[in-house]
Structure 1
Amino acid sequence: MAVQESVVVTGVGALSPLGGDAGALWDALMAGRSGVRRLDAGWAGQVPVSLAAPVTADLTDRLGRVRARSLDRVQQMALLAAGEAWSDAGAPLVPPERFAVVFGSGVGGVITLLNQHDVLRESGSRHISPHSITMFMPNGAATAISLALGARAAVHTPVSACASGAESIALGLDVIRTGRADVVVCGGAEAAIHPLPLAAFDAIRALSRYSGAPEDASRPFDRDRDGFVLGEGAGALVLESASHAAARGCPAYAELAGAGYSADAYHAVRPEPGGDGAARAMRAVLHDAGEDPAAVVHVNAHATATPLGDRAEAAALRAVLPAAGRVPVSATKSMTGHLLGAAGAVEAIVTVLSTCAGRAPASPTLRRLDDDIDLDVVRDGPRTLRRGLALSNSFGFGGHNVALAFRPAGPRGPERSLPNRY
C-alpha cells in the first residue's frame, strides 16, 4: 500500500462573536472574554430568550455596499473568513483545476429566505430581490468562495446541522488524500440570529433562559447549565498536501492527521445517552490518524451546554480515552455561544492554534462541574499543553458525529509559529 501523504493547515480565517478575524478570536479566548450579549433588536420581545452571540464586525464596510447587497449574511461572513485564510496562507499559486472549496452550513441563507417571505406577503412578488435564490441556497457560501478565488477542482457543501463545518474539513482532507486537489479552502458559516430560529430552538428547550449577566449564560459541563446560546460566525482553513506546502516554502500551523464519522440513528435532536455514536467517531479518527488513545493531549469538546449533550459527550470521552480524567478538555462555546454550522470550523481553528501555541483555552463560566462529567475541563485560565494529538469534536441534530485530529507539523514539514497578530 502506498504511503498516504500528510495534509497540513497553512491558513486560517474567522469571524466570530469574539472579533473580526482569527487573531481576535484567539486573543479573546486566551483572555476569557465572552461574545454573548443581550438581544437589542426591535424584534427581541417576540421571543422568550433574551441572549445571543452576534458578530459585531461591520461586514458591509469590509465588502463594499454593492457586493454585500447580493450576498446573505452567512455568505458575507464565509467570504471574509475565506479571504483571511487565503491571505494567511500566502495566496497559494495553484492551478484552478487543482484547487477546491468545501464549505458547509446548517441552514444556509435563512435570513434572506424569511425576510423575502415577508416582502412577498407585504409588498407582492414584484418587490422580491433578483438575488434571492443565490442568497438563500445552502451552497451559496461555497459558491461565493469558489467564484472569488477561482476554484475549479470541486465545490462541495456538506449540510449536517452543527457538524457541517467539521464535516467540510473532513471532506477537504479526503479531497486532497484522493488526489483530486492540492489545495482546499474549507470550513463553515452560519447566520441565523432571527426570531424564527430562536423561537424554534426555544420550543425544544435547547436554548438557555439564563437571566443573569450575559457572559455567564453559556455554561458547558456546569451543574447548572440550561442550554446553549445561539451565535453566528464563519471559520475557514486552507488545507494543502504537505508536499505542495513544502514546495512553495510555506510553514504549517499543524497537520490534519485524520477524521472520523459516525451516526447515532437514535433521535432527530437528542444524542444517544451513553455517547456511543460520539465514541465511534472518536475511535474512527484515532484509527485514521494511526494513533493510540494515549497520544491524545487535548480535546476541544462540542460541549453545547445542554444537559443531555454534555453528559453524552463526557461518557464518550471516558469510553475512548483511558486517561480521560487527565486529558485537558476545552469548551469554547462558553465564550462564543453555539455557531451551529460554523461551530466545527471555528473550533477546529481554535484546536489548530492551541496545537501550534501549546496552550488550551479555559472555560470561564464553569463554576461547579457536573458530577456526571468527570473530565479535566480547563478553567481558571489557559493551560499549557504537551505536544501530541488534539481532537476537535462536533455533533449535529440528526445524529451526525464528526471528530477531527490535529498534531504538530514540525516532524513532518516546516512548522509555523503564531503570527504577531495573535
Structure 2
Amino acid sequence: MDHAAPKPEMLDRVRSFVSWVGEGRKLTQTGRVTLADAKALVKLLGTEDVIDPKIGDRVFRTGSSQELLHLMLVVEWAGAARLVRKTGNRLVQVKKNSALLDDTGALWRALFAVVDQLGEAFLPSGFGESLLRPEFATGIRAVLTSLYRHGAPVPVRDLCATTWDVTSAPYVLDHATKLQLDHLRACNDRDTKQALEALRSLGAVTFHKDAAELTELGRDGARELLGQPSSGDPVYQLKIALRDVENPPVWRRVLVPAAVRLDGLHEIVQAAMGWENAHMHAFVDGRTQYGVPDPDLPYRDERQVRLADLVKPGGRLLYVYDFGDRWEHEVLVEEAITAEAGKSYPLCVAGQGDCPPEDCGGAPGYEHLVEIMAKPAHPEHVDALDWLGLDDGTQFDPAHFSLDDANRRLLGA
C-alpha cells in the first residue's frame, strides 16, 4: 500500500447521504436501498462501486444495492450511528441526531464509536466470505488494539495475521484441506485490508508503504472504543476464578480499564483464562443478564454497558461460558488503582492452574478427567489421551500456568 495522508472523505459521504435521505426514501420490500437510488448514490457520493461490471467479454448485471459494498458501508455506517433509521419500508433521518452533521468532531466520534458493528455491511458474503465478516467486532478490535499498543506503523501482514488468529479461534479447521485454508486465509487478508481502508476513509488510519498506523484522531477514538485508560484514569484489579474447580484451583488476577465495555471484558476473560471463545456467554449481576443481542434470549446488549457502571471495588459479577458445560467464573473487583503512563491494559499479574479443555463436561467432567489422567492404569486413560491429542499423560498438567502466555493472549483481547 502506498503512503496516503488521512482524508476523511467518509464524513462528506455520510453528510451527503443523510442530506439525500431528506424527509424519507422508499426502500425495497427487503429493506434495501432501491437499485435505481443506489445507482444515483454511487455517482453522488463517489463510492467507486462498479455498476454492471464487465469481466472479459461478459457483463455481470448488478441485481441489488447490496452488491455495491462501498455504498453499503456508507448506508450502514449512517444507520449504526443513528443518523438514519428504517421505519416500515422507508429510510428516514433521525432528527434528534441531525445536529451531529454540523459538528465535525462529534460526527467523527459517532461514526468511529460504531466501527466494530459494520462487518456485514461491506465485506463480501457467499463463496468469497471470510471468517472476519461474522467475527468482525472481534477482528477489528484486535486490529485497533495492535495499532494502539504499538504506537508506530504495524506491517499490514501482521494485522492480517492478527485477524486470522482471533477470528479463526472459534472454528474447528483441523480437517480443512490446504486449498480450503488458503482460500479462507486469502479472503481474511483481503477483508482485513478492506477494513483498514474503511478506517483510512474516516481519517483514523494512515498507510506507510505496507504498514498502517493510527492517526492522532484514530488513537483518541481507539482509546475510547477499547476502553484504554489515560495516565491517572481508574483501573480495576480483578480476580477471575472458576467456580467448583479446586484440584487445582484456576484463577487469574488481571488489571483492566474500569471503563472497559462488557464485550471487551468477555474477550479479556477468554484470553486470560485460555478459553477458545467457541461457545456462548453471558454476564450476570444478580438482576440482569448481559450478552450478545439475540431476539430469542433475554439479554441486555453487553456493548452498551461499561464495567465501572456495573460493579464497584468489592463487588462481584458472574461470567458464564458455554451454557452446556456451564463454566461459571466469579469476577471480583479487588481494588481500584490508577493507570500508569506507558503501561498497556489489560495486564495479567498473577494466576494459578491451567484452563480446562473445552467440551470436557464442565467442572464435574474436568474433575473426572484430572482423575483419569493421574492414573495411567485407568481404563479410560488411553481414550482420554486420544481425545486430548496427547502422546502421554505427563503432557497433561492441570497445575500449569504461564504468566507470559496469558499476557500474549491478552494482546489480542
The interval holding the TM-score normalised by the smaller chain is: under 0.3
Higher relative contact order (CA 8 A, sep 6+): 1
Q: Based on CA coordinates, which of the two structures has the bigger radius of gyration? A: 2
TM-score, with length taken from structure 2:
0.26
Q: TM-score, normalised by structure 1?
A: 0.26
